[in-house]
A and B are shown apart, each in its own frame.
Chain A
Amino acid sequence: MNKSPEITMSPRQAQTMVDGFKLEDDEIRQFTANEVIQSFHAGVQKGQSIAIELEQKAWFRQIRDNAGFAAMDTLKVIAFLKEIGISVLSAHLKIESRYSISVLITVSTSDYVKEVFTQVYNFVSALHAANTNELYSVDFQFINKSEHFDIDAVKNAGFTSSFTPLEK
């Protein structure tokens, strides 16, 4: 193999050589700005979609957690009603917002018209006051469940999930 030719030059000649590749300042500025802008855009888009994905995951996690808390509170309401001689037939959950849940509880018509039934309103008020925080609140509604009960009407009102321990 032939050896590369030895190049000898003076420092001044070397400097001239280097200067021959010199980019003008604004060329450099434009080049790097474009690179930065392109990188920024790529990063922003990627960053945005990542941020959206993370936010969605946080939403789902919060809602799932709150549904769990609502289930625990629903069990407490069921237990209270049992103490006053009233049986719960079904319960249905509605997501009002990321931090707010409503639960519709049904009882028989004969239980619904009992004088004692309305004691549950104070119970759920106290439960609401005790358990509400900036990330979670639950409201309870009640209605009788007759032979004309229409689960589609319940779902149309937003109560899309039924409490499975009560489902037959």
Chain B
Amino acid sequence: MPGKAHAAHNEEVCDLLLGNGKYPDWVVTTAYYAAIYYVDQKMFPFTIGMEPEFRTFNQYINRKGGKPHKVRLDLVKARLQGCYDNLKWLYESCDGARYNSYQVSPEIAKEARRRLELIKRAC
């Protein structure tokens, strides 16, 4: 499972792009893809009842099925509630960029970075 190191790696790219100023859409994307690995490494491994342990998110998806991004959001809501709002905002900003022709504003890019920081602190 991509762990904290990969989360930090994506966060670095996010900062590079934010500093550059020309790619706010990718700032949001890298912020989201840093956040998911922070939350994954915080949540896993865990067990549910008598089921065998879920060691990684991929293992969870393989056994439970479902759409990965939505499943992760549900997991975060159940197990890491303090991160839910920020992760959902990042996900919807990332996924919804298409509705604004991928023209993401600098304010949204800045807000994405802020919310990533909040998630990282909570993890």
Contact = CB atoms under 8 A, between A and B. Distances in A.
Contacts of B92: 141-143
A104 B96 CA distance: 10
Chain A, interface size category, equals 20 to 34
Nearest to A114: B111
Nearest to A113: B111
A146 interface: yes
Contacts of B47: none
Contacts of A153: 98-99, 101
B108 A150 contact: no
Chain B, interface size category, equals 20 to 34
B88 A146 contact: no
Interface of A: 104, 106, 109-110, 112-113, 117-119, 121-122, 125, 141-146, 148-150, 153-154, 157
A109 B105 contact: yes
Interface of B: 77, 84-86, 88-89, 92-93, 95-96, 98-101, 103, 105, 107-108, 110-111
B88 to A, nearest CB: 5
Given A109-B108, A118-B85, A121-B85, A143 B101 contact: no
Contact of B100 (A113, A121, A149, A157): A149
Contacts of A110: 107
Nearest to A112: B108
Contact of B107 (A109, A125, A150): A109
